[in-house]
Amino acid sequence: MSTPLTVRIDRAADGQLVLFAAGEIDASNVADFAEALNTGTGGDADTLTVDLSAVEYLDSAAINALAPHAESLQIIANPVLMRVLIVSGLAELAKIRPAAAADSDEL
C-alpha cells in the first residue's frame, strides 16, 4: 500500500514551472514524484521550483529522486525537512529555503 502523496505541476504568475507535493514521499510512491521531477526538468526552463512545504516526511528514496536534478532545482521545504536536506548534502547542490508558515497551507 502506498503512502498518500499528491503531486502536480503548475505555472507560477511569472511563467516558471512549480512542482507542488503534499503528503509523504517514500519508496512506496517515489515513482510518481520522480516522474513529475523528470517532466518539470525536461523542458526549456532553467530552474524548476519544487514546493515541499506540504510534505511532512521524505526518505532516502525522495533524496535520490531529487539529487540528479539538484543543480536545476529551487526547493521550498517544510521546516521539518530542512535537517534531512542538509544532512543528505542536497542543500549543497540545490537552492533550498524553508517555507514560511503560511506557505504550508496552500495545498
Residue-wise pLDDT for 39-98, tens only, equals: 999 876 689 999 999 999 999 999 999 999 999 999 999 999 999 999 999 999 999 999
**Where residue 12 sits, what CATH number does that domain have?**
3.30.750.24
Task: Return the pLDDT at 1.
Answer: 67
Q: Which domain holds residue 10?
A: 5-98
Q: Does 103 map to a domain?
A: no
- Give the pLDDT confidence of 27-46 residue by residue, as tens digits: 999 999 999 999 999 876 68
Q: What separation, in Å, do the N-terminal and C-terminal C-alpha atoms of the chain show?
A: 23
Q: Does 12 map to a domain?
A: yes
Task: Return the pLDDT at 105.
Answer: 47
Total domain count, the chain: 1
Q: In sequence order, which residues have a C-beta less than 8 Å from that of residue 83 and are 6 or more positions away?
A: none
Strand, coil or helix: what is 80? helix
User: What is the pTM (predicted TM-score) of this model?
Assistant: 0.89
DSSP state of 97: E
65-83 burial, b if ≥16 CB within 10 A, otherwise e? bbbebbeebebbbbeebbe
Instruction: Label residue 101 by pLDDT band (50, 70, 90).
Output: low
The Cα–Cα gap between 50 and 16 comes to 11
